[in-house]
Each structure stands twice: as structure tokens, then as C-alpha cells.
Structure 1
Amino acid sequence: MVKMRMMPTFLWLLLCLTFVEAAAQIEAKPRTIVTTDGEIDDVDSFIRMLLYANEFKLEGLVYSSSMWHFKGDGQGTKMVSEMEMTRKLYGEIADLRWPGEQWMQDLIGAYARVYPTLSTHAAGYPTPEALLEMIRVGNITFEGEMEENTPGAALIMEKLLDADPAPIYLQAWGGTNTIARALQMIEEAYRDTPAWPAVQNWVNAKAIIYTIMDQDATLRKYITPNWPGITVYYNAGQFWALAYGWKKAVPAHLHPYLEGAFMGEHIINGHGPLTKMYYSYGDEQRQAGDPEHIHGDPTKLKDAQWGTFGKYDFISEGDSPAFLHLIDVGLGNLEHPEYGGWGGRLAPSTKVPHRYEDGATVAEYANGKLDNGYAQVRWIEALQKDFAARADWCVLPYDQANHPPEIILEGAAERKVRGGQRIPLRATVTDPDGDELTVQWWEYAAAGTYGPREREDVVLEDTEYRVPEDIGPGQTIHLIAQVTDGGTPELTRYQRLVLVGE
């Protein structure tokens, strides 16, 4: 049993005194904690995340449960899922496909072997020892269990109550139950004290939950009713571009970046022990504890639901949007999830305050139709090439690998404009490897509020942009400056210019 520690007097006084100014104090790298149920796609997301661990400040790695994976209490106690799909599939069960509490340590062990080379390519990679110290076991006994005070919940509670005002992105790769338990521990400790209003405001300002679907009922039943001021990013569908159903979600011309010829050569094989542990179709790997992980069996490459696959084809990284959102590639999405970035695009809910979500309201027009998932699909090529470069970093010295170019806008990133005004399109670009650079400007039509929704992106050919005559007050147009280098693989970065009608 984990004991809760009362907040020191000085800290809750600090909360009362500094709450107003705290929102303005943001770290350069976003703080984040990952909670995961250990699904095979969590393993693959975890491997990719480790290769980007220099881009954010990891503060916790927590085993949790979900509607698909839980350990059970070891006493044979059975439960029936609160989630309709799981209830229909499994009925009353005592445990479900539990992969254990060692797989993160095993992957970090492989990370340790590539760390000496990987860390020469960019500053900020956490040491393997630091990552191991972050691991905690959260609420894993049953789907949605949030009664037990676990080390994982205690860690989340501690980080939410510390004196650092920077937001903490709480990634829910499985259920939200361990996050819910942490919040309930805070509520139980402070609700009946004079500190409660300051504590609640502090947590509301700090916690941002990025959840992939509802994988248990705790967001709906506890977090939203009891902590309505907490910001929630709710990805219910865009993640499918990087999940089991990618063949249906991603247009055929992008399939090669997810197929075995690319994945096997550029990521899985010949890039060291970490990416070799990446699960793919027909790779003959099998996750312990999950009898339904048959994807690696070369005789079972045809799936009635998802399609037919080849060796080393991508299986799933359904949880990757949660950390891809945190990577700064110049799109400004961290402060504005409605802008869109490598983690997709989420808009404020019209029904639930402090909630951003996907769906029809952020559908983007592509290939002659509105597509609910295109906000994630549009980045597949850039994402996969970037992943391949990070795999190279595991085994190649700096001068033999490729590194992303840099681009800086000339002028303000947001500008008030009038109809008919001509806006110069200028940016400064550099490349750490001295590669030839190609710069392109394009309008991200769906991200702006000017014009009809049934409008595709437009590549801009001129060095200046003429603002449409009929732009209305407050309407926005998003222009993206994109630079791609000539290295192998080609890498791309961006800057965004937002024009606002006067």
C-alpha cells in the first residue's frame, strides 16, 4: 500500500500566491508521463518514443490496465467489462492478455546498448538509468480499477503537486484508471482542507490528459465529472492511421512507407537491438502473456478484419499520436492542438469544456472528400522517414547519418491582414549536414477558418501571398513554410504563418 504524503504548508501557500503567474511559465521541453497497458502496439509506440526521448521531458513510465489488458488479483476474482466490445468478446473473466511488468525494462535494456551512439546525434536523451528510475506499477489488477493507492498513481500525484508550474502531459495509452486514481488521491487528501481551492486550480492548470479512445470508463465516470477543469485531448479516430486498420485509413500511395520493404530495411533490421525488438508482421516474435498476438506467425498474414500483410509490414502504433503531439517540428500545435501537427489535429468540443477532440469537426478535404482521419494521414511520409533517420542514429556516427534541417520565419508568426494585402513569404533555412534544401510554401486549408471546408491545400508558387479580398474579421489563413533536405532519408521541418483578418 502506498502512503499519501500531505502537501507541505509552504507548497500550498505557494500555490495560492503563484497560481495566476504560473500559466505563463512554460518549459522549453514539455513534461510528460506515459501510462501503458502493454499492448503490442504500445511496445512499438514505446520503441519509437525512446528514439524521440530527447524532444520532451519524460518524468514517469507507468504500467496501467485497460479494457484489453489486466493482470487480475491472483485469487480468481472475475469481472465483466464496462466497455461493450470487451464485454461481448470475453464475458466474465479473471484476467486478460496481461504482458507483465518487465517489458519496459527489457526495451530500456536495448536502449542502453544504442544510447552511446544515439546520444551523439542530439542533446537531451535521458540515460538508461534515469529511464529505469521512472518506472512504476500503477493500477493493473482489473479494467478501470482505481481504488488502490499504487506507486504509479503516487508518482502522478507527486508530479501534479510539485512546485513546477509547467503543464504535465499525461499520456493514456491504455485506460485512464491510474491517472484517475492519482486525481482521486489528491481529492481525498485536500478536499476538506483550506488548501483545496488552490490545489484544484493548480492541478487544473497543470494536467493535460491525452487519451487514445476510452479504454476504460474512468474518464467518463470520474475524471470529467470531478475534475471538469482539466484539459483533455481525446483522440477517438485519427490514431487509426497508425493503428491496426492502417490499410483502410491510409491511401494506397502512402502504403509503401508502412510496408515491409521500408520497415525491414530502414528501421527493423541492421539498426541495433532496440528496433529489432519492434513487432511487425511475420517477424516470428511473440509477446509473452498475450495469446492473441499471432501477427508474427508467417503462416497468419491474412487478417479477415485488417487485410493481407507481408513480412515486416507495420502492425500498429495506435498510441504514438500522444507523444508525437509533443515533438516540436515547427507547427505550433503544442499550444494550439487545433492547428494540427504530427500527432493529428483536435478541436475544442462544443459540448464538454476543456476538451479537444477529433471527428467530423476536424475532417479535412483530400482526394475529393472530407476525411476524418486525414489530419494524421497527411504526415505519414514525413513521420516514417524521420523514424528511419532516428533508427540510423542508433548505429551510425554523426557524419554518416542525416539530421533535420532548421527553418525560421522572417517576421511575426501571426499577422493582422486586410483583403488584397500582399504578404512576403520569407524564411531562413539551414542544415546541420550541409545538405541541399528545398523550401515550399503551402496553405493548410483545413487549419484556417477562411473559406469552405471542402477545400484542399494549395501549394504557393510565388514569393508573396495575396490575401483574399473577402477575408472576414477574425478569419484565419494558415500558411506553412516547409523545408526538406537532400539527405538520406529526406527530413522535413516547418514553420507556420497565421494570417488573421482585421
Structure 2
Amino acid sequence: MEGHRFPKVIFRSMVLGVMMICSLHIAPWGEATKALATPLPRTIVTTDGEIDDMDSFLRFLLYTDEMDVEGLIYSSSQWHYKGDGKGTKFISAMPLTRKLYGERTELRWCGTEWMQKFIAKYREVYPNLLQHDGHYPSPDKLLSLVKIGNIDFEGEMSRDTDGSNRIKEVLLDNNDAPVYLQVWGGTNTIARALKSIEDEYKNTDQWQAIYDKVSKKTVIYVILDQDATYRNYIAPNWPNIKVLYNSSQFWCLAYDWPKTVPEALKPYLESKWMAANIKDHGPLLQEYMTWGDGHKIQADPDDQYGDLSYMKEKGRGQYDFISEGDSPSYLYLVNVGLRSLENHANGGWSGRLVQSKTNPNRWEDGENVADYNPYTQKLDKSYPQARWIDAIQNDFAARVKWTQADYAHCNHAPVVAVDGSLDITAKAGETVKLNGQASDPDGDKLQYKWWQYREAGSYAGEVQVGHANKKHAAVKIPQDAKKGDTIHMILAVKDSGTPPLTRYAHVVITVK
């Protein structure tokens, strides 16, 4: 409850004690419809290793307490491949890179050591991170998960690799929980794992059961198509695998963020804020790269972002955010209360994806998935993700501080819930009472805000919210609401800590 001041050490000891006993993730308190503990989502990262991936990976390490990491796989893409070492020439199957780079024997390959280097830095801050959450995996565990996948060329999937074998092993194991495969480059190493499963089992009596099992548990989050293996192999041969496809919303965390992030939110990505909260804050974040900071990835001739003259030419400020275009592939796995993992159309820190009209196993963004941007007063296809930038960045800054200070000197997110179920029904004309609850582990004051996420619901109109800035609010269901219409209500609770942190409860009202 607001105002209840749990002693910080006692609160932390209680939470960590339960986690150690159960080895499960603590869910928001007071959520009567769900168990108090749920398993962490299983995930595997595949990465082609450019600057954008490296910065995404550094943030990812700070969120590994929120996931069950099962693989960290070097892969290739249309932008990065190692070559076979024999001088074999290759030309891209993707029109843009074919035009840009032509025939090559290798392309901007940054090696297979950088994840290990960053994990070594993680090792330095690991004892500090454990003070804040006992779920952080050990550095040794993370190192054991690093594997080299299919890296010789863009789209190469002709042979098994340690990386593809790791993905295959996880997809075939006896744990039927979903496996969230993050694609930070091409899908080729994932495609090779699936092809290996097909080759081994297709002509056996086990094939149908294996096919159904793998199709059911595999979820692939793709940031653009960066090779042709999804189109040419995965989609036609594994059509029942769930695919989350982000083609436009991710740009607010990628290279073109100045074009997509509203002016009011840009300060969270600009030099003053980045220098104050992220850049060079402790051993791990010394590796984080920003505009004009003097860094240079020697193996990548296209990396000029650290150069001051190039920075000025492009009109950027020193220490401005460069890109983390792959971070949306794991931010939805972080349980902040928005229920985006449960239903991608609910929206959240990875944006809002809707089910394809032609493929029920594909969820996507694009021209038809836009939120109203109050800053421009227009529908905006990037705003489903850009709307959360301040909360995302403040959360990042808090975790950066976790690497440097003990529990008592850092901020931790409030715990938010509602009385009763998160899914309720009501008749048109009925007034629905929404009773929020929240507690803060640091004893901070809490600010409440109830708001309607109109684009996530099927009811097109606006509802009136009484006491929107209180824990307990009231929503009158409009008389013109039809049976089956949904109205999505978000309770956002922000604490008064530094930086301020926000968590949510997401209530879905269905008209009966």
C-alpha cells in the first residue's frame, strides 16, 4: 500500500528468500487470479554483432534476472558475415545489401569474442546485482551458453554448428514451456536448427509429435528480415511456429530514433541524460557506446559513431544514444504488468503487435498498427513503442546504478496489482470500480494514474474515468458499447525515487 514503509533489508530478504526456495519469479502482490510465483520466460539470443547489438546486449545483461537465458548464439546477417576463410566470394540475396556491398568474401565481421568480453565486465558487477535480485545468472552460466552458430555467410544454413545444435537441444527438451528466440540478425542459425530436427525425424514415426511439439513451443521475435531463411525455409516448412515481426516500431530505439521519438521524450536519449545516467557508469557500462565518445570497432569500417567530426556532420550531440534496435526482442519478456507477453496486442515496452489477417501464427506491426500520438495529435506507427521511452530509460538507469551501489542506495520498482481479476465483464451503461493496490520496496511515495489504452481495445470510443489519479477509479461503460467490445484500462504507478520507476496493472473489460 502507498505509505507503508517496508524496511529495505527486510523486504529484500523476504523476496530473495522466497526466490531461493522456489527458484521462481515473484509476481505482483495481490493479484488474486494468478499464482504468486510464475516461471521465468525461457529465451535464446542470436546476434550478428554490430554496435547496435552490442549496446542491446549490455542492457540485456541487466535484465537477465527477468528471464531464463538458455543460449547466446553468434549468427550472421545481410550486414555481417565472417566468410569461410577460403576466399569464396558471396553476394547478398537481399536487394539493399547487394547494391551497397556487391560481391564480398566477408562483411563487417566483428568476431566471436565480444559477448565473452562483456560477460567478463558483468562478472565485476555481479556481486552488486545480486543484492538487488537473486535471479541474476552467474557469469559462468552465461559463458557456458555462448555458442558459435552459422556465421560464414548471410543465410548460411547448410551445416550444423554449436549454435544451431544448442537451439535444437532446447527445442527438443522435455520442458514444454515456450522458448522465445530473439533474432538480432538473420534467422539462419534458427533455420539450421529446425532443418536439423526435420532431417533427423521427418521419416520416422516420431515426426508428427516432434513437429507439433517444436511448433508449439517456438516463438521467434524478428527485427526486420535480415536474410532470406525465414521466407525460404521457416515459413513454408514450419508454418505453425509463432512469429513476432517488428518492422517499424523498433526504430524509436534504433539508429533513426530522432525521426520517430516525440520531441518531449528525446531528452531521455540525448547527451545530457545519457552522460548523467548511462555512459561510463561502472565497469559494465564503460563498454556502452554512444555518439562522439571516441570508440571505434576496428572490424567494422561503417562504425564512425565515436568520431567527433562525423558526429557533428550528422547533427548529433556527444554521448547521444546511438541504437539498440534489438532490445524490443526482449523487453516484452520483462514483466512490468502490461501483459504484452500474454497477448502481444495488449501493447507494452516492445510495442504493440496484432495478429496477421492472413497468418494466425504471425503477429506484426506496420502501417495499420498505430497509436494516437498526443504530441503531434496524429496516428503514429512508431508511437506504440515510443510512448514508453521515458519509463524504459529510467528503468535502465536504475539498473545501471544497481551495478554500482548497494540496495539501500538504489531505487526499485513499485509492486502493482488490482483487487480481483484483471479480466472482467460489464454491461453497457454499468459503472465499473477499479481498485488498484501498490507497494514500494523503498518506501517511496507513489503516484497513480488510470488511463484508457484505446488502440489496444476494440471499443472505438473514449470512456470517462472518475478519480483517474487515485488508487480507486471508476469507469462508466458507454451506452453505445456492443457485446464483445473490449476496453483496456492501464493503471500506471510511478514512485518518487531517483530515477522514478513505473509499473502497471492492465485491466481488460469485455462488454457482455
CA distance in 1, matches of 2:264, 2:436: 30
2:413 is the alignment partner of 1:392: no
1:471 alignment partner, one of 466, 478, 481: 481
Partner of 2:206: 195
Q: How does 1:303-322 map to 2 (within 5 A)?
A: 307-322=314-329
Partner of 1:11: none
Give the superposition deviation at 1:268: 1.3
Aligned pair count? 471
Partner of 2:187: 176
Give the superposition deviation at 1:308: 1.3
Give the superposition deviation at 1:353: 3.0
Partner of 1:62: 73
CA distance in 2, matches of 1:383, 1:438: 17
Amino acid corresponding to residue 385 of structure 2 in structure 1: Q
Partner of 1:496: 506
1:86 alignment partner, one of 97, 102, 126: 97
The SS at the match of 1:35 is strand
CA distance in 2, matches of 1:53, 1:375: 24
Q: Point out 4+ residue stretches in structure 1 off by more than 6 angstroms.
A: 455-459
Partner of 2:29: none
CA distance in 2, matches of 1:68, 1:398: 41
Amino acid corresponding to residue 436 of structure 2 in structure 1: A
Instruction: State the TM-score, normalized to the length of structure 2.
Output: 0.90
On the 8 A contact 1:338/1:347 being kept in 2, the answer is yes
- CA gap of 1:496–1:314, structure 2 versus 1, over 3 A, is same
Partner of 2:33: none
The SS at the match of 2:112 is coil
Deviations 1:35-85 (A, max 9, x none): 000010100000000001000100000000000000001111111111111
Give the superposition deviation at 1:484: 0.4
Query: Which stretch shows the higher mean deviation, 120-129 or 359-368?
Result: 359-368
On the 8 A contact 2:415/2:440 being kept in 1, the answer is yes
Give the superposition deviation at 1:360: 2.2
Give the superposition deviation at 1:28: 1.8
Partner of 2:332: 325
On the 8 A contact 1:31/1:56 being kept in 2, the answer is yes
2:359 alignment partner, one of 347, 352, 356: 352
The SS at the match of 1:299 is helix
Q: How does 1:234-245 map to 2 (within 5 A)?
A: 234-245=245-256
Give the superposition deviation at 1:256: 0.6
- CA gap of 1:240–1:64, structure 2 versus 1, over 3 A, is same
Partner of 1:155: 166
Q: How does 1:438-477 map to 2 (within 5 A)?
A: 438-451=447-460, 460=468, 463-477=473-487
Give the superposition deviation at 1:194: 0.2
Q: How does 1:38-57 map to 2 (within 5 A)?
A: 38-57=49-68
Amino acid corresponding to residue 140 of structure 1 in structure 2: I
The SS at the match of 2:133 is coil
Deviations 1:335-364 (A, max 9, x none): 100100111111001122300000122211
The SS at the match of 1:211 is strand
1:407 alignment partner, one of 394, 406, 416: 416
Query: Which stretch shows the higher mean deviation, 359-368 or 401-410?
Result: 359-368
CA distance in 1, matches of 2:487, 2:366: 21
Q: How does 1:111-130 map to 2 (within 5 A)?
A: 111-130=122-141
Amino acid corresponding to residue 400 of structure 1 in structure 2: H
Structure showing greater relative contact order (alpha-carbon pairs closer than 8 Å, 6 or more residues apart) = 2
Amino acid corresponding to residue 379 of structure 1 in structure 2: W
Give the aligned CA root-mean-square deviation in angstroms.
1.5
The SS at the match of 2:310 is coil
Partner of 1:272: 282
1:285 alignment partner, one of 291, 295, 304: 295
On the 8 A contact 2:465/2:474 being kept in 1, the answer is no
CA distance in 1, matches of 2:78, 2:344: 27
Give the superposition deviation at 1:226: 0.2
On the 8 A contact 2:465/2:475 being kept in 1, the answer is no
Amino acid corresponding to residue 356 of structure 1 in structure 2: W
The SS at the match of 2:227 is coil
2:149 is the alignment partner of 1:138: yes
CA distance in 1, matches of 2:234, 2:131: 41
CA distance in 2, matches of 1:418, 1:360: 33
> Unpaired segments of 5 or more residues in structure 2?
1-36
Instruction: State the TM-score, normalized to the length of structure 1.
Output: 0.92
The SS at the match of 2:59 is helix
Percent identity, aligned pairs only, is 51
